């Protein structure tokens, strides 16, 4: 199976300016994902999809890696979807007669991932007939119990999924996609949006891996978590 590892890292970010190359404990954020990818032997090609000259310089200077293309500005807006970015990369390589079976998507905003977790996600994908393997955390919030939505009148709220459960621990477990690791079938991504895929397999990670770097306070929390993980290991 041929795997394209795609690291999407656009230039602009509203919540944390210049986020994707901002130093996290002295290291540019994107470096964490690149270093993770370079440890995975199953990857055939590593592709950085960016519209940022700063990121291109970091990739070439710090890792001596080829940047295959510069992402179009039209695919680098707040409204650009992950699927659009993936399909752009797939199309580039297919036009150059290089074809892949799966995409390993590593988002820079989830830098706290371990090599074993990536390898396990790839193995899970290889061993099963699925469209996608996605890393998740078990959620303390449950749609059968304490997640409510507005009803049709938009006045009252109701459980998002109706059930007769009176204790949270009796409810079916709920999972939150943590954004850390995706292994996606190229065939499936050509046919469907990520959120419309039906044959999904979960890979459960600890709850603290759920931090996504959107706000300055997330950055501080991530730095503290990395420090704690380093002391444990």
For residue 231, name the pLDDT band (cuts at 50, 70, 90): low
Average pLDDT, the chain: 92
Tell me, yes or no, whether 158 and 69 share the same domain: no
Tell me, yes or no, whether 89 and 191 share the same domain: yes
> Rg of the chain over CA atoms, in angstroms?
19
User: How many structural domains compose the chain?
Assistant: 2
Candidates 186, 179, 52, 207; CA nearest to 108 is 179
Tell me, yes or no, whether 114 and 76 share the same domain: yes
pLDDT of amino acid 216: 87
Tell me, yes or no, whether 109 and 199 share the same domain: yes
Strands 132-138 and 175-185: antiparallel
Tokens at residue 115, please? 């090599």
Tell me, yes or no, whether 192 and 150 share the same domain: no
Q: Is residue 145 exposed (0-12), middle (13-18) or buried (19+ Cβ within 10 Å)?
A: buried
- Determine the Cα angle at 54 with ends 49 and 56, to 5°: 40
Res 91 pLDDT > 90:
yes
pLDDT of amino acid 44: 96
Tell me, yes or no, whether 110 and 150 share the same domain: no
Tell me, yes or no, whether 144 and 56 share the same domain: no
pTM of the full structure: 0.92
Tell me, yes or no, whether 168 and 54 share the same domain: no
What is the rounded average pLDDT of the residues 82-101? 97
Tokens at residue 191, please? 């046919």
């Amino acid at each position: 199976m041929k795997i394209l590892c795609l690291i999407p890292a656009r230039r602009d970010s509203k919540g944390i300016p210049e986020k994707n190359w901002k130093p996290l404990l002295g290291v540019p954020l994107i470096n964490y994902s690149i270093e993770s990818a370079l440890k995975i032997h199953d990857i055939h090609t590593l592709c950085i999809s960016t519209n940022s000259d700063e990121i291109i310089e970091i990739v070439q200077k710090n890792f001596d890696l080829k940047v295959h293309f510069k992402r179009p500005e039209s695919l680098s807006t707040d409204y650009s979807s992950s699927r659009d970015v993936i399909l752009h990369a797939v199309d580039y390589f297919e036009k150059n007669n290089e074809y892949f079976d799966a995409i390993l998507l590593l988002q820079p905003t989830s830098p706290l991932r371990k090599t074993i977790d990536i390898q396990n996600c790839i193995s899970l994908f290889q061993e099963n007939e699925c469209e996608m393997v996605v890393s998740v955390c078990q959620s303390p919030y449950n749609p059968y119990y304490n997640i409510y939505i507005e009803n049709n009148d938009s006045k009252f709220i109701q459980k998002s999924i109706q059930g007769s459960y009176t204790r949270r621990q009796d409810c079916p477990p709920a999972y939150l996609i943590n954004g850390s690791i995706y292994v996606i079938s190229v065939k499936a991504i050509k046919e469907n949006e990520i959120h419309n895929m039906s044959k999904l397999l979960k890979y459960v990670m600890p709850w603290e891996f759920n931090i996504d770097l959107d706000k300055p306070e997330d950055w501080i929390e991530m730095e503290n978590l990395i420090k704690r993980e380093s002391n444990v290991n």
